[in-house]
Amino acid sequence: MSETDINAQRQRCKACGHYDKFNFDVPDSIWEATVPDHLRNHVVCLFCFDEYARQREVDYAPYLHTLYFAGDRASFRFEAVSATTVEPWML
């Protein structure tokens, strides 16, 4: 399969346009509190989701338990062992 074929199968983040290699799941209430209305029914990458959560001060750390990565040569499933919310004063 060519790189063009692989990229055609990948989803793109509708916020930033980058290919989305991470899949994650949060409760609907967290998604709705975090993601802007016009993007709620679309793919939003973890990086954009994190930025929206920061902007809206949504603490999603306790709700993200599993993270999936789909690379070009391998795929992984990561389980959260612990999660910490980053407070603005920590940046």
Q: In the predicted model, what is the mean pLDDT of the chain?
A: 88
User: What pTM was estimated for this model as a whole?
Assistant: 0.83
Does pLDDT of 14 surpass 90? Answer: yes
Total structural domains within the chain: 1
Percent of the chain with pLDDT over 70: 86
Q: How far apart are CA 32 and CA 42, in angstroms?
A: 12
Taking only the tens place, the pLDDT of each residue in 58-76 is 999 999 999 999 988 999 9
Q: What is the pLDDT of residue 7?
A: 53
- Are the C-beta atoms of 83 and 62 separated by less than 8 Å? yes
pLDDT above 80 for 88: no
Domain that holds residue 78: 3-90
Structure tokens belonging to residue 57? 């001060």
* CA distances for 61 relative to 3, 26, 35, 39, 70, angstroms: 34, 10, 15, 21, 21
What is the Cα–Cα distance from 50 to 60, expressed in whole angstroms? 9
Q: DSSP letter string over 60-71?
A: -GGG--EEEEE-
The candidate with the shortest Cα–Cα distance to 64, out of 43, 48, 78, is 78
pLDDT: which is higher, 90 or 59: 59
* pLDDT(10) > 80: no
